[in-house]
Amino acid sequence: MTAAHTGTQGGPRLALRELDVHFATDAGDVHAVDGVSLEVAPGEILAIVGESGSGKSVTARSVLGLLPETAEASGAVLVSGTDLVGLSAARLRALRGEDVSMIFQEPSSALNPVFPIWWQLGEGLRAHRPKITRKEIRAEAVRALDSVGIPDAAERIDRYPHEFSGGQKQRIMIAMALALGAELIVADEPTTALDVTVQAEILDLLREIRRRHGTSIIVITHNMGVVADLADSVAVMHHGKIIERAGVQELFAAPREAYTKKLLAAVPHLGRDSAWTALDPAQRAALEEAAPVVVAKDLVIEYPGRLGRAPFRAVNGVDFEIRAGEVFGLVGESGSGKTTIGRAIAGLERTTGGSLSVLGHEMNGMREKAFKPLRRRIGFVFQDPATSFNPHLTIEQCIAEPLIVHEEHLSPAERGARVRALLEAVELPGTYAGRYPHELSGGQRQRISLARALVLEPELLIADEPTSALDVSVQATVLDLFRELQQRLGFAALFISHDLAVVDSLAHRIGVLFRGDLVEDGHGPDVLQRPRHQYTRKLIASLPVPDPVEQAARREAFAREWGGDAQG
């Protein structure tokens, strides 16, 4: 740790003193943050970890005075010596950007889709420098995008958010946070839902910002690999309290609190719990001999070009099979074609070449009328259950929707009994049937999504990134539940994810997609422990592991082989 991290150069960048935050709700007072005290030194990277509802995001938003009107805060939030609690709105606006900035969790929703990037970067500049000219804003926008590694910045400042990839949008959010020279940055889940290679680039960028500017960074995350890779110290939150604070190596090597030990134990480790290795020889032989329920041969999925542009080929002649009772994992970067293949199997995308047989039905040239009877045999678990449920329907109505469509003969009582049996199967009380989606946590909604996908007892389940936004302990619960239900019910599954460790723990066979090509396909240990293709090796090398010492060595090895920043 450098001198800048020790706090010897003046006082701390951030000091919380007995911070308390209460929310007034219809159900009564909620004590979200309970007497939190902590400091962040100049140049220090602090990770705050804990389950959803632990208070970490509320604590982070308190640092910028971004709490809603229903919140009541007490205590002190000192940013570079200035207490933010009780400050006027005008004074808070003056501090935001210049003293402290925030990188929001989802750049796609934080960026305005109708304004070009230079205009959005200029919003903060105009707020603090009212006399700044359009020419100066554009020059600052080019400099900011250059500083975060966006290529062709002078030309791309005129583009709109949808014209950038997920990783590039996250870089733009970081550029906005840096635009006014803030010495403290709060990053709320800055790598959630990013591919491991893009995640590695963002982490390198945050390290470089700290090295170059001495910026202090608070990272809110549920990814313990990211914590091990990036943080100097870690604060663990539980029920609104900081229950443990330690240096990153100390916390991973010798956690004191039982809750911290539980968090670390829930983290999946690549190669430790391989689903294929866990099978006995008879189970492996049975899977190898099972009849395929999905067969792709030279599968092509292409989107027509618009405004004179050439067609875009999302899937480029891939071959694979999914056998009855087998979990097939599909990994690769965003844009590699994973979700497109999953949607094509479910009949939600048209195939344009080759052959795709699903449950004996050819999907190339598929006619909806012929395929509709097969839909009841296919379940789909969406990435974000919050947006896949109708907010006006109860949980019982959400789960029962497929029964109403495909099993019209069932009476309301019979549907209700089926729903309650499924709630018990996903380990939720039957009383939850009368609740609405917004009344459940993220992990509970994902269990409901799994219940809805299974309500028709499908032969094939498609799960598209079902755990990417879940805390590690909740993720572990959902994965255990998925594994138990798959073994008990015997459905085949396509499991799409960018988390290699999660895929290894669930999938019997794994396919690796790269720009529409299936570059590798085999049993889990063969693909992830003995990769043949260079891209697979890069994916594995990019994956941060929840061990600071091992991760530091991996980062240096990655930099030697692939290039990039190996310095912390």
DSSP string, 210-277: HHHH--EEEEE-S-HHHHHHH-SEEEEEETTEEEEEEEHHHHHHS--SHHHHHHHHTS--TTTS-HHH
Q: What per-residue confidence (pLDDT) applies to 256?
A: 95
Does domain 3-114+160-265 fall under CATH 3.40.50.300? My reply is: yes
Confidence of residue 2 (pLDDT cuts 50, 70, 90): very low
More confident residue, 562 or 239: 239
Could you tell me which residue, 51 or 242, shows the higher pLDDT? Answer: 242
Binned at pLDDT 50, 70 and 90, residue 25 comes out as low
Report the residue count for the chain.
Answer: 568
5, pLDDT greater than 60:
no
537-555 pLDDT, tens digit per residue, is 988 888 888 889 988 888 8
pLDDT score recorded for residue 428: 84
**Cross-strand bridge partners of residue 208:** none
Going by pLDDT thresholds of 50, 70 and 90, the confidence category of residue 1 is very low
Residue 93 has a pLDDT of: 82
Question: For residue 48, what pLDDT band results from cuts at 50, 70 and 90?
Answer: very high
> pLDDT tens digits, residue range 71-122?
888 999 999 888 888 888 888 888 888 889 988 877 777 889 999 999 999 9
Confirm if 209 and 20 have CB atoms less than 8 A apart. no
Q: In angstroms, rounded to a whole number, what is the distance separating the alpha carbons of residues 149 and 128?
A: 25
Q: What is the pLDDT of residues 374-400, one digit of tens each?
A: 888 999 988 777 778 888 999 999 999
Q: Which residue has the tokens 């000219």?
A: 133
Query: What is the pLDDT, as a whole number, of residue 20?
Result: 93
Give the pLDDT of residue 115: 93
Residue 360 burial (10 A CB sphere; 0-12, 13-18, 19+): exposed
pLDDT tens digits for range 168-223: 888 898 888 888 888 999 998 888 767 788 888 889 889 998 998 899 999 998 88
The beta strand positions in 260-348, using DSSP E, are 292-303, 312-323, 327-331
pLDDT of amino acid 324:
96
Q: In what order do the strands lie in the sheet with 292-303?
A: 312-323, 292-303, 353-358, 361-362
Q: What is the pLDDT of residue 10?
A: 63
For 2, 66, 278, the CA distances from 325, given in Å and listed in that order, are 53, 49, 15
- What pLDDT digit, counting tens, does each position of 262-309 carry? 989 888 888 788 999 999 999 999 999 999 999 999 999 998 877 777
Angle between helices 442-454 and 395-406 (to 10 degrees): 20
pLDDT at residue number 469: 67
pLDDT at position 242 is 95
pLDDT band of residue 27 (cuts 50, 70, 90) is low
**Residue type for 445, please?**
R
The C-alpha atoms of residue 350 and residue 366 are separated, in whole angstroms, by 8
**Would you state the pLDDT for residue 4?**
38
Which pLDDT score is estimated for 193?
A: 65
Q: Give the model confidence (pLDDT) of 357-369 as tens digits.
A: 999 999 998 888 8
Mean pLDDT of 477-481: 84
Per-residue pLDDT, averaged over 41-54, amounts to 90
Which pLDDT belongs to residue 215?
93
For residue 470 the two structure tokens come to 């879940």
Cα gap 388→390, rounded to integer Å: 7
Strand partners, 19: 36
Res 565: pLDDT: 46
Question: Among residues of the chain, what percentage have pLDDT more than 70?
Answer: 96
Can you tell me the mean pLDDT for 547-567? Answer: 75
- Which residues, 6 or more positions from 331, have their beta carbon under 8 angstroms from its beta carbon? 338, 496, 497, 498, 500, 503, 510, 511, 512, 513, 539
Selection from 273, 323, 272, 277 nearest residue 296 by Cα? 323
Q: For residue range 297-324, list pLDDT tens digits in order.
A: 999 999 887 777 788 899 999 999 999 9
The stretch 487-515 carries a mean pLDDT of 92
**The whole model's pTM is what?**
0.80
70 pLDDT band, cuts 50/70/90, is confident
Residue type, 43: G
The torsion angles phi and psi of 233, rounded to 5 degrees, stand at -145, 165
Residue 420: how many other CB atoms lie within 10 Å: 18
pLDDT tier at 26 (50, 70, 90 boundaries)? Answer: low
Residue 166 has pLDDT above 90, yes or no: no
Note the pLDDT of residue 555.
Answer: 83
Instruction: Name 250's Cβ contacts closer than 8 Å, sequence gap at least 6.
Output: none
pLDDT at position 3: 36
Q: Give the domain ranges of the chain.
A: 3-114+160-265
Q: What percent of the chain has pLDDT over 90?
A: 42
pLDDT of residue 331: 92
